[in-house]
Structure 1
Amino acid sequence: MRMAASRVTFAALFSLATAMPLGAHPHIFVDAGLRVMHDAAGAITAVEVTWRYDELYSLLLASDYGLDPDHDMVLTADETAAMLGFDLNWGGGFAGGLVLSQSGDPLALGAPEPVSFFMHPNGQIQTTHRRAVQGAAPRVPVAAQIFDPEFYIAFEMILDITADDRPGCSVTLERADLDAAYAVLEAALQEIGGAVAAEDNFPPVGAYFADRAVIACPG
């Protein structure tokens, strides 16, 4: 897997892929959340990103890594420590999915640092990592999106989006227009010859499916 860099077996991944129509994307579903951190002047200096994997992919990960062998959905301290940061070894051009911008200009992000690894009572795996933010102007709203350009992973920003104890901050969440996004996808697939051709050359439509959060904090 590009994002999670897991050791999931070929057989498990084949079963996951063949359970969907040929050419179907996405294959992995991730609920996402954010916590932004500011300096004394009010500029964002870092952001913590939380990913909660869908139940099927969480099951594959737990099986492959030998987690929770007694199936009580409680991990040991050793299991947690061993898994911390397991999904931060990105490859294949994936840059972490997070895009931050101010006034339409992208902000530079540092390398990810692991913060936490957790298994929910229903078996879903949740991770949090932190990234430094460079060049943010104080007291200027920041727009955030999380998406995989190739849409192998579908991110949905339904977890908490917060600021670090700053009074008066507001978050406006703009949900993706899925009808418009699927229309773009359909047109892109037709242009390259259909879903079968897309298996090896899927169009970069992930941004059209991305939610957008705007975080604004007073001075």
Structure 2
Amino acid sequence: MRKILLTLGLLIALPQWAEAHPHIFVDASHKLIFDDQGRLTAVRVTWDYDEMFTMLMVEDGKYDTNGDGDVTGDELEAFRLWDANWPPDFGGDLVIHADGKDQALEGPTDWAAEWHDGRAVSIHTVKLETPLDVSKGIVLQNYDPYFYVDYEVTKTPTFEGRSDCKAKIVQPKPHQVSAKTAAAIANLPADQTPEQAGLPNVGQYFAQTVEITCGG
């Protein structure tokens, strides 16, 4: 999946501001999981991919064995791990911020896949390296630093293990990215990332922020 994603994103980088926009679209949702002490221990992440990327992925993996346009029944088992082969430097585009810092996360586990109305759905669990006291609140973001992928949080998170938490989705502020920076990113050669070119992490400016508070 990541190979297809990066190939698409890099090949279509053209020297116009409009071409700095993403070309893969994901509806993201999250379940926050707490232990018996009320600490955050993991996030169950669901990604609903757009129809175009779904089509490319299904054709690449030959998952639709009966050619009916859907991945269902026995096909789903082969499909379950289609999104699981992450390279070592890919952190899942998930950020959990609390106590003034980004929290350390483990690699994804518990993979599942579903098929919703012609769209591929990938599900995985990300555990925190250390259980987190959330009494001061936390911030969650799902974004691609280079903005090849646009993650849209389509619903507020659900909670497992606590009933006193609430969440608010704060919309992004894309105007913070200058036209000059956007053009520089769009003009990068296909074998160079914005990070390698010393350009800023623009994905954060297009990302929704989920503010979560528990208790009190």
> Paired residue for 2:207?
210
> Paired residue for 2:180?
187
Q: 1:100 aligns with which of 96, 99, 102?
A: 96
Q: 1:46 aligns with which of 42, 45, 69?
A: 42
Once superposed, what is the RMSD of the aligned Cα atoms? 2.8
Alignment of 1:15-34 (within 5 A): 24-25=19-20, 26-34=22-30
SS of 2:92's partner is coil
Unpaired runs of at least 5, structure 1: none
Matches of 1:214 and 1:165 in 2, distance apart?
Answer: 18
Superposition TM-score, scaled by structure 2 size: 0.81
The answer to whether 1:63 aligns with 2:51 is no
Counterpart residue type for residue 130 of structure 1: T
How far off its partner does 1:38 sit? 0.4
The answer to whether 1:35 aligns with 2:31 is yes
SS of 2:68's partner is coil
CA contact (8 A) 1:118 1:127 kept: yes
Alignment of 1:70-109 (within 5 A): 70-71=67-68, 73-77=70-74, 79-91=75-87, 93-109=89-105
CA contact (8 A) 2:14 2:186 kept: no
More strand by share: 2
SS of 2:55's partner is helix
Unpaired runs of at least 5, structure 2: none
CA contact (8 A) 2:135 2:213 kept: yes
> Paired residue for 2:173?
177
Counterpart residue type for residue 90 of structure 2: F
Counterpart residue type for residue 188 of structure 1: T
Q: 1:149 aligns with which of 134, 145, 148?
A: 145
Q: 1:85 to 1:72 in 2, by over 3 A?
A: closer
How far off its partner does 1:33 sit? 0.7
How far off its partner does 1:197 sit? 3.5
Q: 1:97 to 1:36 in 2, by over 3 A?
A: same
Identity over the aligned pairs, expressed in percent? 30
Matches of 1:138 and 1:174 in 2, distance apart?
Answer: 19
CA contact (8 A) 1:17 1:27 kept: no
How far off its partner does 1:73 sit? 2.6
> Paired residue for 2:187?
196
